[in-house]
Amino acid sequence: MELTSKQRAQLRGLANHIDTIVQVGKNGIGDDLVADVNSALEARELIKGRVLENSMLSPREAAEELAVKARAEVVQVIGSKFVLYRKSHRKDLKDPIVLVKDKKRG
């Protein structure tokens, strides 16, 4: 799913109020980190991560690699932080994110 600019703006606004829960450090992106990201996205749909100074990856590289491995969308990368989104398939999700519709795309 490719996000529209309106949807990205909506998600950026929601991300302002969430805490950083994923950190990419010197070990890079391993299976455990990908599993943590998958679990977090399934539970929350929108997560914020941070790349530590000792990482060999730039924040953009880390966000893009995690997005590919977790089948998520990169919403934003600012400084050392990034935001990822993936619609959850959980039926018991407390507050699912309802994305705005773009009139042109449906």
Give residues with Cβ within 8 angstroms of 34, minimum separation 6. Answer: 66, 69, 70
pLDDT at residue 89 in the model? 86
pLDDT at residue 84 in the model? 98
CA–CA gap between residue 64 and residue 78 (Å, rounded) = 13
| Identity at 76, one-letter amino acid code | Q
**In this structure, what token pair is assigned to residue 68?**
């590919």
pLDDT tens digit at each of 106 positions of the chain: 689 999 999 999 999 999 999 999 999 999 999 999 999 999 999 999 999 999 999 999 999 999 999 999 999 999 999 999 999 988 888 888 989 987 655 5
pTM of the predicted model as reported, rounded to 2 decimal places: 0.91
